[in-house]
Amino acid sequence: MKNMQLAGALSLALVLAACGGGTPTNEATSEQPKEVGHADEGVITLTADQIATAGVQVAAPLVGGAGTIELPATIDGDPQATQVVSAAIAGRVVALNRNLGEGVSRGQTLAVIESREAAQLKGEVEASRARLALANSNLAREQRLFDQRVSPEQDLIAAQTVATEARIALAQAQSQVSAAGGGGGGLNRLGIVAPISGQVIARPVVLGQTVAADAELFRVANLSKVSLSLSLKPEDAGRIRPGAQVTVSASGRSAAAKVSFVSPALDPQTRLVPAIASLDNGGNLWRVGEAVTASVQLAGDGGPSTVRVPSTAVQTVEGRTVVFVRTATGFKAAPVQLGDTAGETVLIRSGLSGRERIATVGSFTLKAELGKSEAAHED
C-alpha cells in the first residue's frame, strides 16, 4: 500500500511538471493552465485534468447513522428449528421413507429399525396390557362380591391396588416404546418418526445398515427461518446490539435480518466474537451453508447529522488530522476531530459539515504533494 501511495505521489509530481509546474515563459502564459501555487497554508492548486490523471477520487461524506460494517457470514439452519432424528435403540435399518430435500410432517415415520430390543419393548407392552385386563377382571369380581357382602373390604382394596399397578406398568411400557419410536409394522420393528415438520437436510445412513443406539439417521430443519453466523472483532461487537439491522447479500439477492444474539465471550480458536442474526426464508432464497456478505448496523453516538468519511480520506499533516476538501482551484487540508471507527468509515466529530466534497481515494498523494510544495515555498 505504501509503495502504491508513493507511486501515486510521484505520478502527481510528474503530472504537475508536465502541466506547467515550473516557471512559464511569457509566450506560454496564455496557453498553459495556471501554475500550481500555495498562497494559503494547506492549499493545493490543481486543475480538474490534473486531479483525474493523478487518480484522486472525490465524493461527499456520509451523513447520518453510526455506520455499518461489512463482513463475511454463513447461512445456518435455525438452531430452534433444526433437529437430529436418531435411533433410540440399536438395530438394522430396514426402511428409509424420505430422501434428502423432501418435506416431512411432524409424527411421520422416516425410518424403520428391526432389533431384538424392539421385540422386548413391544412384548412388554402386550404383557402389561394382558396383566391389566386380568387385574380389571378380578377387580370387577371383587367389587361384585363385596356388594353382595360375600368378600371382605380388604380383598376389594387389594384388587384395586393390583389393577392400579397394572395400569401404571402398561403406561410405562407404552412410554418406552413411544420414546424409541413406535409402529414399524412388526413385533420386532420400531418406526422412527419426525419430531418436527420441515425438510430433510441430512441422511447419513443407508438401507440395511446396522446402527448403534443414538446414531443419527436424519436431520430435519424448518427452513422458513434461517440463521446468519457472524464473527465480529471485539471492538465492533461492543457496538452491536440484539435487534440491530443486518443487510444480507449474495449473487444478486439481498434481504433484511436482525441480530438475535451477540456472545459475551470470544471464540477460543478465532479470538472473535460469535453472533447470530435471524433471517426469514419463506421463499427458500437462502441455503444452509451458503457464504454471504452481511452489512451490520452499528450502535453508538450517530444521529441524523453525524458525518462519516472513508478511512482512506483521513491523513496526518504536521501532527494534525486532516481531510482534503475540494475547492474551486484544487484542495484544502481541513483539520478534523475523529470519533469511533465504523467498519471502513470513521466518524467526524468536528471539522466537516457534511456538505463538502472530499478526496476519498488518493489523499496520500495530496499529502505528499502538499509536503513537497510547502518545503519548496519555505526555500
Query: Are 58 and 328 in contact, with CB atoms under 8 Å apart?
Result: no
Residues forming beta bridges with residue 333, ordered by sequence position:
324
Can you tell me the mean pLDDT for 13-22? 47
The CA distance from 277 to 257, in Å, is 6
Say which DSSP state 14 is in. H
> Where do the structural domains in the chain lie, given as residue ranges?
2-67+302-378, 68-80+223-297, 82-111+192-222, 116-187
Domains 68-80+223-297 and 82-111+192-222 alike in fold: no
Considering only CA atoms, which of 258, 193, 227 is closest in space to residue 79?
227
Q: Quick check: pTM over 0.85?
A: no
The yes-or-no verdict on residue 274 having pLDDT over 80 is yes
Can you tell me the mean pLDDT for 162-180? 88
Query: Are 50 and 88 in contact, with CB atoms under 8 Å apart?
Result: no
Q: Collect all residues with Cβ–Cβ distance below 8 Å to 334 and sequence separation of at least 6.
A: 42, 322, 323, 324, 325, 351, 352, 356
Q: For residue range 53-108, list pLDDT tens digits in order.
A: 889 999 998 886 667 788 899 998 877 788 999 888 889 999 999 898 888 999 88
* Helical axes 2-18 vs 363-378, angle rounded to 10°: 60
The yes-or-no verdict on residue 137 having pLDDT over 90 is yes
Considering only residues 310 and 66, tell me which one the structure prediction assigns the higher pLDDT. 310
The CA distance from 81 to 85, in Å, is 13
What pLDDT shows up at residue 42? 84
Q: Please say whether the structural domain 68-80+223-297 has been given the CATH code 2.40.10.340.
A: no
Expressed in angstroms, the distance from the first to the final Cα of the chain is 31
The hierarchical CATH code for the domain 2-67+302-378 is 2.40.420.20
Q: Say how many C-beta atoms besides its own lie within 10 A of residue 45's C-beta.
A: 21
Cell matching residue 78: 435455525
The top-level CATH class assigned to 82-111+192-222 is mainly beta
Which of 91-105, 179-193, 223-237, 323-337 shows the lowest mean pLDDT across its residues? 179-193
Q: Which residue has the cell 480538474?
A: 48
Considering only CA atoms, which of 226, 265, 224 is closest in space to residue 246?
226
Q: For residue range 233-253, list pLDDT tens digits in order.
A: 888 888 888 998 899 999 888
Can you tell me the mean pLDDT for 193-213? 90
Average confidence score pLDDT of the chain: 83
Considering only residues 30 and 51, tell me which one the structure prediction assigns the higher pLDDT. 51
Considering only residues 233 and 118, tell me which one the structure prediction assigns the higher pLDDT. 233
Cell matching residue 77: 439452519
The CA distance from 298 to 245, in Å, is 9
Chain-centroid distance of CA 204 in Å reads 26
Assign 376 a pLDDT band (cuts: 50, 70, 90). Answer: low
Query: Are 333 and 42 in contact, with CB atoms under 8 Å apart?
Result: yes
* Tally of residues, the chain: 379
What pLDDT shows up at residue 301? 55
Query: Are 365 and 5 in contact, with CB atoms under 8 Å apart?
Result: yes
What pLDDT shows up at residue 34? 40
Query: Are 13 and 373 in contact, with CB atoms under 8 Å apart?
Result: no
Assign 31 a pLDDT band (cuts: 50, 70, 90). Answer: very low
Pick the CATH number of 116-187 from 1.10.287, 3.40.1570, 1.10.10, 2.40.50: 1.10.287
What pLDDT shows up at residue 35? 41
Which of 9-13, 133-137, 184-188, 262-266 shows the lowest mean pLDDT across its residues? 9-13
Q: Which helix (H) or strand (E) holds 236?
A: helix 234-237
The CA distance from 210 to 148, in Å, is 59
The CA distance from 377 to 28, in Å, is 23
Q: Say how many C-beta atoms besides its own lie within 10 A of residue 126's C-beta.
A: 12
Three-state secondary-structure class, residue 120: helix
Assign 379 a pLDDT band (cuts: 50, 70, 90). Answer: low
